[in-house]
Amino acid sequence: MVSGLQIRMDRILRKGKMLCIPMDHGISSGPIEGLESPARVISQCETKGLTSVIINKGILKTLPKPTRIGILVHYSSSTSLSMSPNRKMLSGTVEEALRLGADGVSLHINVGGKEEPEMLEQLGLTASECHKWNMPLLAMMYPRGENVKNPHDPEIVGHVARIGAELGADIVKTLYTGDIDSFAKIVKSTPVPVVIAGGPKAKTDEDVLQMTEDAMKAGAKGVTYGRNIFAHKNPDKIVDALAGIIFRKESAKEAAKRIAKN
Structural domain that includes position 98 = 4-260
162 is in an annotated binding site: no
Catalytic residue among 173, 176, 237, 240: 173
Q: Is 237 among the catalytic positions?
A: no
Q: How far is CA 208 from the centre of its chain?
A: 15
Here the CATH number for the domain that contains residue 84 is 3.20.20.70
Whether residue 26 is annotated as binding a ligand: the answer is yes
Rounded Cα distance between 188 and 202, Å, is: 27
Which tens digits make up the pLDDT trace of 37-79? 999 999 999 999 999 999 999 999 999 999 999 999 999 999 9
pLDDT tens string 92-132: 999 999 999 999 999 999 999 999 999 999 999 999 999 99
Whether residue 173 lies in the annotated active site: yes
Total domains in the chain come to: 1
Read off the pLDDT of residues 144-192 as tens digits, 9 standing for 90 and up. 999 999 999 999 999 999 999 999 999 999 999 999 999 999 999 999 9
11 marked as binding residue: no
Strand ranges for the chain from DSSP E = 18-22, 52-56, 70-74, 76-77, 89-90, 104-111, 137-143, 171-174, 194-197, 222-224
User: Is the pTM higher than 0.85?
Assistant: yes
Taking alpha carbons only, the member of 27, 56, 106, 45 closest to residue 232 is 45
Catalytically annotated residue among 24, 103, 236, 240: 24
The answer to whether 236 is a known ligand-binding residue is no
**Catalytic one of 75, 88, 103, 142:** 142
SS3 57: helix
pLDDT of residue 157: 98
Q: Is 144 annotated as a binding residue?
A: yes
